[in-house]
C-alpha cells in the first residue's frame, strides 16, 4: 500500500515536471531584422490572396475589416479569428515587424505562445523577407478597431495551448517552396510559391490525421472534416485531368467561381474565390493553374 | 429571328430538363422543378463560358438564348419554388438559411434576373478586349487596399440596365457567375 502511494507520488511528480517542461518550453527561432522598405499596395494584394482579409473579416455579420471574430467550427471545437487591426490593446498596434514576422512565418505569438494550425503559418513560412515587409506595410494602414478577440471554444486537451508545442515537435514541417526550382518556368515557380505558400491550397485539399496535421504523403488528395463538416475534392494534376479540367478551366474557375460544367463553387471554395482568388491577376491565376496541372 | 431564339431556348431547355431529370432523379414536385431550372441555367452558363473562354466562336443568338433561359428561371420564378415551410426532401440541397435570410436570397435571385436582361441586351455588341485577357479584366479590382469586402455582391454595385447598356457580354458574364456562386455559397449545402 505504502509502495503504491510512493509510486503515485512519483508519477504525479513526473507528470508535473512534464507539464512544466511543456509549459515553459521555448519555441520558435530568433527573428532577423528586416530593413527592407515595404510596399503597402503589394502587401494588400498578398493579404487578399492569402486569405488574411477573408478569414479575419466577419463580413457575414457586418464586421469591420480585419477585426476578426469569424467562427470556424471544427471537430476540435470552434476557433475564432483574432483582431488584426492596428488597435493597441486588441489588435497588433503595439507589434514590431519582428513580432509580425514571427507570428506569420513561425506561428509564434509575441508572448512566445504557439498559434493553432487553423492559422496556416506553415504555408506562410514560404513568404520572403520582402513579402513580410510589404504585408506589414499594408497592415499598418488598417484602422484600429477596439474589438476584443474572442477566445477559442475548444475541448480538452486541445484547449491547452502549450500542448501545441508537442504538436509542433511531432508534426511541424519545413517550408518547401521558398527557393525557385532551376529548370522550371517562371510561371511554374510562381505557381508553386503561391500554391504552397500564400494561397495555402493544401490547408483544405490535403487530408489531415487524428491530430489535425496534414498528411504530406497525400498532398492535394482531398479532405473531409473541414469547417462546418465540409469536404474538399482532390486537386492533384492526375485527379483534375481525369475530371476533364484544363489549365484554362482552372484559372477561369478561380477567377469566376465557375466550374467547366456550368455549375459554380459553393460553400468554402465559393467563399475563398470571393475573398481571395478572384482578386488574383491573370498572370498569377495562370501560374497557379500551371503548377497544379503539372505543366511547364 | 424571334423564332430562332425560341427554338434555341426550347432546345436548351429540353436538353437541360433531360439532364436535370437524370442528375436529380429522386427529387419530386417543387424540389425537382427548381433543380431542373438550376440545370438549365448551368447549361446556359456553360454555353456562354465556352465563348468567353474562346473555345467556341462568338454567336449573339446563343448568348440571347442562354440569357433568356436564365431570365426565365430567376427572379420571382425562382423564389416561388422555395415556399416557406416546405416539406423537407432528402435530395434537397437547400439550406435553411434561404428562409431565415429570405431578403438576401430574394435579392440575389432578382439580381440574377436583371443581369440576364442586361446580358441579352449586350449580346449584339460582341466580346470586348477578349484578346488581352480571357476574362476581359486584368485589374486587381481594388485589391491594392486592405479595406472593403472581397465580395462584389453588395447592392451598391448592382448595375442598372442603363449601366449595362454600355457593357459587353464578357463584362456582364462575370457578374452573373459571381451572383450564382454567391448564392450557392450562402444557400446550398455541398454533398
Name the residue among B141, B146, B181 with its Cβ closest to that of A270.
B181
C-alpha cell at A122: 506553415
For all residues of chain A together, what is the average pLDDT?
A: 92
- Whether omega before A289 lies within 30 degrees of 0, making that bond cis, reads no
Smallest Cβ–Cβ distance between B181 and the set A59, A139, A265 belongs to: A265
A264 to chain B, any CB pair closer than 8 A? The answer is: yes
Put simply, the answer to whether A44 touches B185 (Cβ < 8 Å) is no
CA neighbor of B35 nearest in space, from B172, A270, B43: B43
Inter-chain touch B45–A257, beta carbons under 8 Å: no
Tens digits of residue pLDDT in A192-231? 999 999 999 999 999 999 999 999 999 999 999 898 778 9
Share of chain A above pLDDT 70, in %: 100
- Rounded Cα–Cα distance for residues A264 and A244 (Å): 16
**A176 CB-contact burial (10 Å; exposed 0-12 / middle 13-18 / buried 19+):** middle
Which A-chain residues 193-232 have CB contacts (< 8 A) with chain B? 230-231
Q: Is the complex ipTM higher than 0.90?
A: no
Query: Nearest to residue B73, comparing CAs of B110, B99, B107, B47?
Result: B110
Beta bridge pairs of residue A226 = A230
In chain A, residues with a C-beta closer than 8 Å to the C-beta of B143 are 44-45, 48-49, 279
- Indicate yes or no: CB of B46 within 8 angstroms of CB of A271: no
Span A156-174, pLDDT tens digits: 889 999 999 999 999 988 8
List pLDDT tens digits, range A17-64. Answer: 787 888 888 888 888 888 899 999 999 999 999 999 999 999 888 899
**Beta strands at A77-80 and A71-74: parallel, antiparallel or unpaired:** antiparallel
B21: how many CB neighbours lie within 10 A of its CB? 14
Name which of A63, A225, A256 to mutate to probe chain B: the one with the most chain B Cβ atoms within 10 A of its Cβ: A256
* Minimum-distance CB partner of B182 among A48, A138, A274: A274
pLDDT at A89 over 70: yes
CB A255 within 8 A of CB B49: no
Q: How confident is the model at residue B5 (pLDDT cuts 50, 70, 90)?
A: low
Residue B135 has pLDDT above 50, yes or no: no
> Chain A partners of B145 at a C-beta cutoff of 8 Å?
44, 141
Q: Sketch the domain layout of chain A as residue ranges.
A: 40-171, 186-292
What architecture is domain B2-83+91-128+153-187?
Up-down Bundle (1.20)
A196: nearest Cα among A216, A223, A213, A226: A216
Give the model confidence (pLDDT) of A226-255 as tens digits. Answer: 987 789 999 999 999 999 999 999 999 999
User: Which three three-digit cell numbers place residue B130?
Assistant: 477578349
Q: Which residue stretches of A34-126 are H helix?
A: 40-49, 52-56, 97-101, 121-124
Q: Does B150 touch chain A (CB under 8 A)?
A: yes
Amino acid at each position: 500500500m505504502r509502495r503504491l502511494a510512493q509510486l503515485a507520488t512519483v508519477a504525479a511528480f513526473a507528470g508535473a515536471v512534464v507539464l512544466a517542461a511543456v509549459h515553459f518550453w521555448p519555441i520558435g527561432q530568433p527573428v532577423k531584422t528586416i530593413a527592407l522598405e515595404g510596399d503597402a499596395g503589394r502587401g494588400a494584394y498578398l493579404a487578399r490572396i492569402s486569405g488574411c482579409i477573408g478569414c479575419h473579416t466577419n463580413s457575414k455579420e457586418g464586421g469591420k475589416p480585419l477585426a476578426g471574430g469569424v467562427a470556424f467550427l471544427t471537430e476540435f471545437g470552434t476557433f475564432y479569428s483574432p483582431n488584426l487591426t492596428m488597435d493597441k490593446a486588441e489588435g497588433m498596434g503595439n507589434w514590431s515587424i519582428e513580432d509580425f514576422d514571427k507570428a506569420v512565418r513561425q506561428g509564434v505569438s509575441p508572448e512566445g505562445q504557439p498559434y493553432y494550425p487553423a492559422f496556416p503559418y506553415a504555408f506562410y513560412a514560404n513568404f520572403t523577407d520582402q513579402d513580410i515587409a510589404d504585408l506589414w506595410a499594408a497592415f499598418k494602414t488598417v484602422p484600429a478597431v477596439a474589438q476584443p478577440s474572442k477566445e477559442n471554444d475548444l475541448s480538452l486537451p486541445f484547449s491547452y495551448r502549450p500542448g501545441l508545442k508537442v504538436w509542433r515537435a511531432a508534426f511541424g514541417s519545413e517550408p518547401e517552396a521558398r527557393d525557385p526550382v532551376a529548370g522550371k518556368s517562371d510561371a511554374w515557380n510562381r505557381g508553386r510559391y503561391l500554391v504552397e505558400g500564400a494561397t495555402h491550397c493544401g490547408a483544405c485539399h490535403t487530408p489531415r490525421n487524428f491530430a489535425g496535421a496534414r498528411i504530406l504523403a497525400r498532398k492535394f488528395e482531398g479532405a473531409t472534416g473541414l469547417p462546418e463538416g465540409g469536404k474538399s475534392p482532390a486537386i492533384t494534376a492526375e485527379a483534375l485531368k481525369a475530371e476533364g479540367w484544363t489549365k484554362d478551366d482552372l484559372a477561369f474557375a478561380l477567377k469566376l467561381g465557375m466550374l467547366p460544367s456550368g455549375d459554380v463553387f459553393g460553400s468554402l471554395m465559393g467563399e475563398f474565390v470571393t475573398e481571395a482568388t478572384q482578386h488574383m491577376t491573370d498572370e498569377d491565376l495562370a501560374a497557379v493553374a500551371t503548377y497544379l496541372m503539372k505543366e511547364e | 429571328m424571334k423564332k430562332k431564339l425560341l427554338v434555341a431556348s426550347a432546345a436548351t431547355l429540353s436538353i437541360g430538363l433531360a439532364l436535370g431529370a437524370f442528375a436529380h432523379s429522386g427529387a419530386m414536385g417543387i424540389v425537382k422543378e427548381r433543380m431542373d431550372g438550376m440545370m438549365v441555367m448551368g447549361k446556359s452558363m456553360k454555353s456562354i463560358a465556352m465563348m468567353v473562354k474562346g473555345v467556341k466562336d462568338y454567336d449573339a443568338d446563343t448568348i440571347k438564348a442562354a440569357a433568356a433561359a436564365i431570365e426565365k428561371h430567376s427572379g420571382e420564378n425562382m423564389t416561388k419554388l422555395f415556399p416557406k415551410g416546405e416539406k423537407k426532401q432528402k435530395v434537397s440541397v437547400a439550406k435553411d438559411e434561404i428562409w431565415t435570410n429570405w431578403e438576401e436570397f430574394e435579392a440575389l435571385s432578382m439580381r440574377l434576373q436583371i443581369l440576364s436582361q442586361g446580358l441579352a441586351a449586350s449580346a449584339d455588341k460582341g466580346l470586348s478586349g477578349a484578346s488581352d485577357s480571357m476574362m476581359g479584366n486584368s485589374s486587381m479590382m481594388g485589391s491594392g487596399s486592405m479595406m472593403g469586402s472581397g465580395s462584389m455582391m453588395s447592392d451598391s454595385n448592382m448595375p442598372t440596365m442603363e449601366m449595362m447598356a454600355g457593357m459587353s457580354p464578357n463584362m456582364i458574364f462575370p457578374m452573373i457567375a459571381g451572383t450564382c456562386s454567391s448564392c450557392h455559397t450562402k444557400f446550398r449545402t455541398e454533398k
